[in-house]
Amino acid sequence: MPIVPVQRIVSRTNNVTTAPTVAEAVALLSGGAANVVDVGNAAAGLYPQLAKFAGDNNPVFASSPDPQVLWSQPTFVPGERRAFATVSLPIPVLLALGLTANFIISMAVFSDNAVEARIQSFSNALLSLPIIPTPNVLNAPLTAGNIANPDASMTVDNAFPYNWQNIRFYTIPVNLSGIALLSSVSFLFTFDVLNYVSNGALNTAGLSFIIDIYQETLV
């Protein structure tokens, strides 16, 4: 059975919300407007960039723009912690054998500094009816850096390569079984980001990501 590209989500100012907590950022997705700003390559051009290959020939994803680096405001506060959220468009359920909807989710994430990412699935766009996959591989904390320690840049993350110099990547197959009565699935992506305290002259913050969703079809 073929695997087809369904949806690509890239961090842009029109599809991401932010708030002090993950719960608040998620709540803003339901009826609220995106409230982030593009801070660009704020670190004097030193940020690694998420960018497409020249000649990208993916028939569905190739037209998507490159991700932007986002934050809650154009100025940066040392030790500030912000949550960010985005959600896929409702994806029509295409049932495979055994009445399961099978997906593959792949993402790459840049953050300055620490980040904890999570993926969840829901049966409605309002994100009030969660779906638990079999096996339950979603809602696991995907961590990079020390999300609980604002001083990490002066203790455990004080040598090259710094946490912000790494691009994190993750791919997971998601099998949603027993959902024959559902018409669509929405995937929620959240990012809890901490800007470390720094004793240097430059202290920037930002989040950038790209998410690809594939689905298995019967034909």
Q: Which amino acid makes up residue 42?
A: A
Please tell me the chain's helix, strand, coil percentages from 3-state DSSP, rounded to the nearest 5. 5, 40, 55
Query: Can you give the pLDDT at residue 79?
Result: 96
**Tokens 């037209």 label which residue?**
63
Residues in the chain: 219
Assigned fold of 3-150+162-216: Jelly Rolls (2.60.120)
Q: Which residues of 157-171 are buried (b: 16+ CB within 10 A; e: fewer)?
A: beeeebbbeeebeee
pTM: predicted TM-score of the whole model, two decimal places: 0.95
Domain spans in the chain, listed from the N-terminal domain onward:
3-150+162-216
Query: Can you give the pLDDT at residue 182?
Result: 67
Q: Which residues of 11-28 are buried (b: 16+ CB within 10 A; e: fewer)?
A: bbeebbbbbeebeebbeb
Q: Is 182 exposed, middle or buried (0-12, 13-18, 19+ CB in 10 A)?
A: middle
Query: For 114, phi and psi rounded to 5 degrees?
Result: -75, 150
User: Mean pLDDT for each consecutive 10-residue tract of the chain (219 residues)?
Assistant: 92 97 95 92 90 95 97 96 97 71 96 98 83 93 97 92 96 84 86 92 94 89
Query: Can you give the pLDDT at residue 98?
Result: 56
